[in-house]
Structures are given as structure tokens and as C-alpha cells.
Amino acid sequence: MTLLLAVVFQDADPVELKWSTTKGTAWHYEARLVMGTTIDGEAYGEKQDSLFGLRLEVDEVLSDGLWLKVTYERIRFSLTGGKGDYEYDSADPKEPLKDTRAMMQAALVGGSFRLRLSAQGQAEEVDGMAALTKDAFPRLKKRGFSADGLKSFQGFYTDENVKNTFQLFFPTLAQEKTAPGKTWSREVTLKDSQIGVITKTTSYTFKELRKEKSEAVIQGETAYQVDASKAEDREMAERIKMSEKLAVVWDVTSGRLTSLETVSAKAMSLTGSKVVVETRSSMTLKPEK
């Protein structure tokens, strides 16, 4: 096998970065979101850490992408700082469900929806979240959720909101065959009521091809342009500085993501102090049993 890879992946040979298009192929991942705030480098308030155990299955192959069936297999939710530490893990529920956010995440376990990826691996459409959340209503009612609480739960997990969240876990892949040293980019325009119109341009660089594992090592960095003219507080919006860096490992032979790590930050000066809100997201392939 090693000899074969040495023949296939010569230094000058470009490789194709794309998801597997074999219907029924499935992988298990752990997706994680960690959010926290610092003031002058010191932790402030609570830090939220959410982990989702996911099963991704190629459900339908399209001419310009594919549909994945996404199943929530596990959630782990933890809080540190603030009013005290708390952790709930659906795989080992030592702590009772007592945080509303943990209850909502736990209600998703066992449910599935469909996610459409473009040919470059971008999350473009979600289908089925309304049915998934409705199926979770009985479990949430047992936890004491009111009609308004159920409405808020369904409003939070809309197709659009879930698509935007899952976009954090999927890197943009090159449109054509590529090789170490090559670059590509993706531009996205977002509207934020607090900040204004944000143009994100993420540039990716193919850094290395690990031939022994057929893995492409990719780094990314995002540049931001902000039009604060329509922000709720233009003066404050103009003081916000945003940054984002990504590290990707892609399995070329299997056509799947090995790992993605992203660090995003919003920083601003407020009453003489530097406030930074940081989000760390990751998507890691779990070893096959």
C-alpha cells in the first residue's frame, strides 16, 4: 500500500479534494463549539463547551454536490465560570439535565436531518429540522418546557440556523485538482444587526501532502471588511476587529475530512479594556471500531 501511494502521489501531481460520492458511505465525527470571553486577558463570565457526536451518511449524490444524512448520536454540554461549573453527557449522564441549553441539545439525540453540500464542500441547505424538533417536543414537555419554550426551541433550530452552524464544520475545497503551494478562496457576505454588512474572504493554502497517509494539510485565514453604516450602534461596530484562522487535514483517498480546527475572535476596546469574544470550533473524524 505504501508503494502504491508513493506512485500515485508524486510531488508534481495535483490531487482532487472532494467528498466521497459513494451512496451509503458513513463516518462518525465529533463536532465541538467552545465560546468564551476575556477582558484584558482574564476569563470573564461563563465559558460554554458543546460537543456533538454525529453520524454522516452519503444519502444522495448530485451533479454539483451531495446530500448527507446527519444523525445526532451524542451531546456533551458544559459550563465553567459564571455561577458555577456544570456538565451533562448523554453518553454518561452522571449529572441531571438542569440547564435549558443542555435540555435542548439533549432532545436532538437520536434525530436526523439532511444537509446539502456543494461540490466544494460548503453547507448550502438543510432539510428536516422542523420534523426533528417537533419529534423532540414530548421529551421537552417532560422537562417542563412551556408552549413558549417549545416555540423558542423550534425557532433556534431552524433549517437556516443549523445550516449556518454546520458551515463552521466544513471547509471550502478547491474547485479543481490542486497541489502543495496552491491557494484558493471563498467570499461570503453576511448581515449582522449589531455590526452591519460583513464581507468574509477566507483564503486557503495547500501546505503539504502527507503521502504515507494520503492526507492534504491545508491552512486558512479570513480577512474581514465591514460596512457599519446600517449597524445598530455604528460607533461601537467600527471598533470591533475580527479574525479567523483554520487548520484542515483532508483524506484524499477516502474523500473525507480528517479534522478541521477554527479559531474566531471579535475584539474591541471598551472603557479602556480589551474585550475579546472567542469561538473555537472543530470537526474530528472518530477512529473506526
**56 shares a domain with 32:** yes
Over residues 86-90, the mean pLDDT reads 93
**188 shares a domain with 100:** no
| Cell numbers given for 120 | 466544494
Tell me the per-residue pLDDT of 241-257, one tens digit each, with 9 for 90 and over: 999 999 999 999 999 99
**210 shares a domain with 158:** no
288 domain residue, yes or no: no
pLDDT band at residue 3 using 50, 70 and 90 as cut-offs = very low
Q: Which domain holds residue 231?
A: 1-17+176-281
Quote the pLDDT of residue 5.
Answer: 41
pLDDT above 90 covers what percent of the chain?
79
Nearest-5° angle of CA 219, CA 57, CA 92?
Answer: 85
**91 shares a domain with 188:** no
Quote the pLDDT of residue 93.
Answer: 82
Tell me the per-residue pLDDT of 8-41, one tens digit each, with 9 for 90 and over: 444 558 999 999 999 999 999 999 999 999 999 9
289 domain residue, yes or no: no
287 domain residue, yes or no: no
Q: Assess whether pLDDT exceeds 70 at residue 238.
A: yes
In angstroms, rounded to a whole number, what is the distance separating the alpha carbons of residues 168 and 162? 10
**Is the model more confident about 95 or about 73?**
73
286 domain residue, yes or no: no
Amino acid (one-letter) located at 256: R
**31 shares a domain with 155:** yes
Half-sphere exposure (CA, 13 Å, Cβ side) for 261? 3
In angstroms, rounded to a whole number, what is the distance separating the alpha carbons of residues 216 and 207? 8
Last residue of a domain, one of 137, 172, 207: 172
Tell me the per-residue pLDDT of 42-78, one tens digit each, with 9 for 90 and over: 999 999 999 999 999 999 999 999 999 999 999 999 9
Residues 6 or more apart from 34 whose CB is under 8 A from it?
Answer: 47, 48, 49, 50, 279, 280, 281
Residues 6 or more apart from 260 whose CB is under 8 A from it?
Answer: 169, 170, 171, 246, 247, 248, 249, 281, 282, 283, 284
In angstroms, rounded to a whole number, what is the distance separating the alpha carbons of residues 187 and 222? 9
**162 shares a domain with 23:** yes
Tell me the per-residue pLDDT of 269-282, one tens digit each, with 9 for 90 and over: 888 899 999 999 99
**146 shares a domain with 277:** no
**130 shares a domain with 33:** yes
pTM: 0.89
Last residue of a domain, one of 144, 172, 200: 172
**134 shares a domain with 29:** yes
Amino acid (one-letter) located at 154: Q
Q: Assess whether pLDDT exceeds 70 at residue 263.
A: yes
81 with 46: CB under 8 angstroms? yes
Q: Assess whether pLDDT exceeds 70 at residue 111.
A: yes
Over residues 184-195, the mean pLDDT reads 89
Q: Assess whether pLDDT exceeds 70 at residue 2.
A: no
**198 shares a domain with 97:** no
In angstroms, rounded to a whole number, what is the distance separating the alpha carbons of residues 41 and 93? 33
Q: Assess whether pLDDT exceeds 70 at residue 1.
A: no
**7 shares a domain with 125:** no
**54 shares a domain with 163:** yes
204 with 219: CB under 8 angstroms? yes
Over residues 98-117, the mean pLDDT reads 94
For the chain, the domain total comes to 2
Give the helix ranges, DSSP H, for the chain. 2-8, 100-106, 129-142, 147-156, 159-166, 234-237
33 domain residue, yes or no: yes
